[in-house]
């Protein structure tokens, strides 16, 4: 293939010699690439031979083919090895996810049904706007890593009703619902999880053999992300905002045994939420950090592109306060930067996003979510976007 370079009309003298030299160089480089591809293929197959041997040993030991912890360790090690190299992490994840899927198939003697090339299970996030959603990157990485034959897209939906009719008609296996449809979607479903009904918002739809079931995984995401840093039971939690995200935060904190005060700009909306979910209410301008140990920022304030905004002046923060922002674009919102400077412990929105997504993945597939890979995929994408 190296000799198939097309020649134009030959320029005279020196130019021609340079051109020939370049053509030779191109042919050499291509020959090296062909040799390296052959070497990579040989290494891939050598690796798969080891995987087959591992499969035989696992069967004798009665161990399952799937070992999520081992797979996560492999990805962590590879990401570490790859630091500073030319291969972007998102491609690293793709290449090795495919290799691991092949290894699993070989280990299980070709019995693995999910090769990713059959009819895929369709998923999408429906929202407006939705183009910047990180959910496709996160879920497609999870599908690739687990070998689940899913495909996940972002679909802009002005109206959620026809979108859900489409989910039914086209046999989508599941959907994520985001702004501004999390409340309106309730009217389109056959079953609503009681906790989602109490929150009044659904962010996850499971198509269970034609029956559309709605769940809310935001609250679990918030509780798990916060719970990693601080015990919630008996603590005083302040939630800023009274929209869908705030409702999930209030429900989650109450569920975990915290005492909650809602702080909102608009009194009626804040009071209604507080009454519905067993919290107190105070106007936003009355926020006093002495009244809580944990602050959850659940409004869109500070979200890209309006990154200069913050819902609380910096002087309302105090050392030792745990401050969580559910906004994750940018990861360090102005509120979190000021909280850090004021000596607060900060929790960014990425963990919440990952944990709500992990729960979605589990509801759709019944598989354990490959969290490390999902995190790597999302972090890489955020870095690439700058």
Residue range at the interface with ligand ATR (CB under 6 A); choices 19-27, 120-128, 230-238, 297-305 = 297-305
Q: Which of 299, 351, 360, 380 binds ligand ATR (CB under 6 A)?
A: 299
Asked if 244 touches ligand ATR (CB under 6 A), the answer is yes
Asked if 265 touches ligand ATR (CB under 6 A), the answer is yes
Q: Which of 266, 275, 291, 319 binds ligand ATR (CB under 6 A)?
A: 266
Note if 182 is an active site residue: yes
| Neighbouring residues of 22: CB distance < 8 A, sequence distance ≥ 6 | none
| Neighbouring residues of 223: CB distance < 8 A, sequence distance ≥ 6 | 232, 252, 253, 255, 256
CB 86 within 8 A of CB 138: no
Q: Which of 52, 195, 236, 269 binds ligand ATR (CB under 6 A)?
A: 269
CB 381 within 8 A of CB 137: yes
- Looking at the DSSP bridge assignments, the partners of residue 156 are 127
CB 277 within 8 A of CB 244: no
DSSP 114: -
- The end-to-end CA distance of the chain, in Å, is 39
Q: Which of 136, 200, 214, 241 binds ligand ATR (CB under 6 A)?
A: 241
Residues 328-357 that bind ligand ATR (CB under 6 A): none
In the bound state with ligand ATR, the residue whose beta carbon lies nearer, of 141 and 201, is 201
Structure tokens at 284: 């936003």
Residue nearest ligand ATR, Cβ-based: 243
Binding-residue total with ligand ATR (CB under 6 A)? 16
| Neighbouring residues of 135: CB distance < 8 A, sequence distance ≥ 6 | 125, 152, 154, 176, 178, 357
Per-residue binding letters, 40-79, with ligand ATR (x by CB under 6 A): ----------------------------------------
Other CB atoms within a 10 A radius of the CB of residue 119 amount to 7
In the bound state with ligand ATR, the residue whose beta carbon lies nearer, of 130 and 373, is 130
In the bound state with ligand ATR, the residue whose beta carbon lies nearer, of 299 and 360, is 299
Asked if 303 touches ligand ATR (CB under 6 A), the answer is no
Which listed residue (6, 58, 158, 182) is catalytic? 182
Residue range at the interface with ligand ATR (CB under 6 A); choices 39-47, 95-103, 263-271, 358-366 = 263-271
Asked if 127 touches ligand ATR (CB under 6 A), the answer is no
HSE, side-chain direction, 13 A CA sphere, residue 314: 12
What minimum distance in Å lies between the beta carbon of 300 and ligand ATR? 6
Strands 211-215 and 204-208: antiparallel
Q: Using omega within 30 degrees of 0 as the cis cutoff, is the peptide bond preceding 330 cis?
A: yes
> Which position has the token pair 């293929």?
41
Active site residues: 182
Which spans of this chain sit near ligand ATR (rule: CB under 6 A)? 179, 241-246, 264-266, 269, 284, 299-301, 311
């Amino acid at each position: 293939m190296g000799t198939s370079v097309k020649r134009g009309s030959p320029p005279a003298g020196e130019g021609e010699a340079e051109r020939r030299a370049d053509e030779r160089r191109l042919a050499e480089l291509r020959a090296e690439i062909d040799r390296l591809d052959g070497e990579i293929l040989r290494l891939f197959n050598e690796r798969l031979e080891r995987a087959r041997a591992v499969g035989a040993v696992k069967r004798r030991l009665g161990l399952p083919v799937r070992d999520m912890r081992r797979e996560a360790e492999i990805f962590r090690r590879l990401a570490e090895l790859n630091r500073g190299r030319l291969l972007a992490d998102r491609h690293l994840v793709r290449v090795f996810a495919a290799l691991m899927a092949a290894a699993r198939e070989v280990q299980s003697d070709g019995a693995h049904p999910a090769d990713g090339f059959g009819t895929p299970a369709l998923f999408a996030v429906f929202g407006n706007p939705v183009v910047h959603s990180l959910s496709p990157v996160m879920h497609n990485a999870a599908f690739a890593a687990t070998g689940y034959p899913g495909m996940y897209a972002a679909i802009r939906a002005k109206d959620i009703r026809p979108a859900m009719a489409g989910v039914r008609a086209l046999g989508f296996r599941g959907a994520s619902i985001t702004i501004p449809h999390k409340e309106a979607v309730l009217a389109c479903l056959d079953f609503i999880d009681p906790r989602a009904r109490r929150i009044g918002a659904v962010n996850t739809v499971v198509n269970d053999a034609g029956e559309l079931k709605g769940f809310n995984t935001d609250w679990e995401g918030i509780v798990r992300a916060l719970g990693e840093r601080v015990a919630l039971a008996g603590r005083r939690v302040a939630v800023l905002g009274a929209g869908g995200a705030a409702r999930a935060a209030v429900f989650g904190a109450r569920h975990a045994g915290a005492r909650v005060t809602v702080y909102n700009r608009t009194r009626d909306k804040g009071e209604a939420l507080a009454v519905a979910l067993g919290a107190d209410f105070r106007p936003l301008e009355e926020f006093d950090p002495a009244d809580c140990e944990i602050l959850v920022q659940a409004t869109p304030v500070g979200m890209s592109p309006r990154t200069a905004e913050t819902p609380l002046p910096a002087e309302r923060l105090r050392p030792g306060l745990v401050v969580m922002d559910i906004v994750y674009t940018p990861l360090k919102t102005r509120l979190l930067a000021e909280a850090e400077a004021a000596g607060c412990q900060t929790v960014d929105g990425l963990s919440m996003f990952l944990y709500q997504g992990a729960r979605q993945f589990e509801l759709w597939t019944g598989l354990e979510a490959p969290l490390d890979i999902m995190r790597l995929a999302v972090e890489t994408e955020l870095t690439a976007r700058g």
